[in-house]
Structure 1
Amino acid sequence: MSRSAEVTLSFAGEDRQFRLPIGRLRALQEKVDCGPMELLSRFAGGTWRVDDLRETIHQGLIGGGMDAREAAGLLKTDFDDLPLQQFVPLCQGIVMACVVGAPDEDLGEPKGEEAPMSPSPDPSSASATSTEPEPQSA
């Protein structure tokens, strides 16, 4: 089953589509000089750099379907010159969707009915019962 790893997150006052397909992920890696797991570690450890955040958002928007010029303009108005810490959770969500899938994605696990629980072992089983049955009262 194919998974898109696309995630919808709020940025610049609207819910937007973010996705890091392989080409966008490679561009991000080149810009920030590390892979996705190291990038997540930087976000979690507070050792991120400005371009870790900016490029994650930029590449994620383009991968999510936004025109590159529109994405660059949005970053100029809604990222540049703003306090940066607020963008860390957004960037973590974008990269996590790429690495493990979006939280609401169907992971392709089969869905079916659970087998009914049997109160006792199968009578034809060769296994001994662990407790003796209670005597029936008269």
Structure 2
Amino acid sequence: MSGDGSVTLPFADGEYRFRLAIGELRMLQQSVNVARIEAGEKPVGPRRLLEDMGAGSWWIDDARETIRLGLIGGGVEPAKAVRLVRQYADPPRLIRGSLVLARAILIASLIGEPDDPVEGNGSTEKATTEATMTASPSPISMPPAAPSAGQAET
């Protein structure tokens, strides 16, 4: 994987570079949400899509569109990406393989790999996938501090 969120993985007839930059992530979000909105469901963003894929509550086109747009973002011509997805990712192919590939593409784009350097403040740090995946966006709840000696309670 490289610092641009791309990842090279085996797919179809060889190895391909997959990348979901902001443009592809927007297209993915729009594409997978059309059916959800029509069905009266809440739309999802890329991070929620990744979580849903891991939890088993995904829609059939979620994996397909992630792979297609990842190929396009990785430099494959759109017509070839559609052809590859139709031939190698659409049923009757095993859906599980497409799901595993789609999750790997999303993880590379959104989180990175544990050993992927993350640039910041002029230094290089290691990205930690596990910490990122399990981190809660909610603030830590703590009980109020007890008043110190000499402070009046209110």
Q: TM-score, normalised by structure 1?
A: 0.72
Identity %: 39
How big is the shift at 1:104? 5.1
How big is the shift at 1:71? 0.4
**Counting strand residues as a fraction of each chain, which structure ranks higher?**
2
Aligned AA (2:24) = R
Larger relative contact order (CA 8 Å, sep ≥ 6): 1
In the alignment, what sits opposite 1:23? 23
Report SS of the residue matched to 2:15: strand
How big is the shift at 1:10? 1.3
Alignment of 1:1-138 (within 5 A): 3-33=3-33, 34-81=44-91, 82-103=93-114, 105-108=116-119, 109-110=123-124
For residues 60-85 of structure 1, give each alpha carbon's deviation from its aligned partner in whole angstroms, at most 9, with x where no partner exists: 00000000000011111111221211
Q: CA–CA distance in 1 between the matches of 2:14 and 2:50?
A: 24
* Unpaired segments ≥5 residues, structure 1: 112-138
Q: CA–CA distance in 1 between the matches of 2:68 and 2:20?
A: 10
In 2 relative to 1, CA 103–70 (structure 1 residues): closer, same or farther, beyond 3 Å? farther
In 2 relative to 1, CA 15–45 (structure 1 residues): closer, same or farther, beyond 3 Å? same
Q: CA–CA distance in 2 between the matches of 1:35 and 1:73?
A: 26
Which range moved further: 94-103 or 62-71? Answer: 94-103
Aligned AA (1:100) = I
For residues 11-62 of structure 1, give each alpha carbon's deviation from its aligned partner in whole angstroms, at most 9, with x where no partner exists: 1142210000100000000011221111111111111111100000000000
CA contact (8 A) 1:58 1:75 kept: yes
Aligned AA (1:51) = D
Which range moved further: 6-15 or 69-78? Answer: 6-15
In the alignment, what sits opposite 1:131? none
* Unpaired segments ≥5 residues, structure 2: 34-43, 126-154
Task: Provide the aligned length of Structure 1 versus Structure 2.
Answer: 110
Q: CA–CA distance in 2 between the matches of 1:56 and 1:7?
A: 13
Larger radius of gyration: 1
Aligned AA (1:62) = I
Please give the root-mean-square deviation of Cα atoms over the aligned residues, in Å: 1.9
Aligned AA (1:86) = G
Aligned AA (2:111) = V
Report SS of the residue matched to 2:8: strand
